[in-house]
Amino acid sequence: MHSHIVNKRMGDSDQPWWVSSIYKIGIPAAIACYLIWFIVQSVSTKQDDIYELLKSHNNTMIAQADEARRTANEVERSNKFLQQICFSLTPERRRQECFK
């Protein structure tokens, strides 16, 4: 009995509230309202999915950037080490070639 009272408004006949609302605004407007509600529900779910994908992508990009920096540092250290070896083993007149 309680749910029957919740679904009715004051002054309505024995119809649920949504039936009298459709009667008042018309079927095309009721369909439009339903479609808007449905789209809003779908969009908010999609927004959550897109947000999670963007967050994951951002974390991946940060990790890749960190790895690229580490690799660049290793290459720079290797170059300096090879230049030192070259400088140590090359005759004095050709040592400048080690730094080209």
Residue 66, token pair as written in the block: 């960190």
The model's pTM = 0.47
b (16+ CB within 10 A) / e for 21-38: ebeeeeeeebeeeeeeee
Q: What is the CA radius of gyration of the chain?
A: 36
What angle in degrees, to the nearest 10, is found between the helix axes of 27-89 and 17-25? Answer: 100
Q: What is the largest CA-CA distance in the chain?
A: 107
Per the structure, how many domains does the chain have? 1
Cα 42 from chain centroid?
16
Helix ranges restricted to H, the chain: 2-6, 17-25, 27-89
Q: What is the pLDDT along the chain (100 residues), one digit of tens a residue?
A: 444 445 445 554 678 888 888 888 899 999 999 999 888 887 777 888 889 999 999 999 999 999 999 999 999 999 999 999 999 998 988 888 888 8
